[in-house]
Amino acid sequence: MRLVATRQYSFLDVQTLAERQARDTLFRYGENSFLLHMTPGEGEDDQLFWLDCRAALLWINQGDEEYGSF
């Protein structure tokens, strides 16, 4: 497994109206598989997504306003 990209971004928690930090990390796993690890912040459940090459490329090319929308 190899680290491809990571991004950290701020978002507004709608329940507490507090600013929080989230982190997304993309790993390459094998030849045509990618693993996206999304951490929405402290005390929240992490999410894992298996992506193919096309979905990973779309994730990498997201604009700033689309972060966290996967």
- Cα first-last separation, the chain: 21
pLDDT of residue 22: 87
pLDDT of residue 26: 95
DSSP 68: T
Q: How far is it, in rounded angstroms, from Cα 33 to Cα 55?
A: 10
Cβ–Cβ under 8 Å, residues 7 and 50: no
Q: What is the pLDDT of residues 11-48, one digit of tens each?
A: 877 778 888 888 899 999 988 899 999 887 776 788 89
Q: How far is it, in rounded angstroms, from Cα 65 to Cα 67?
A: 6
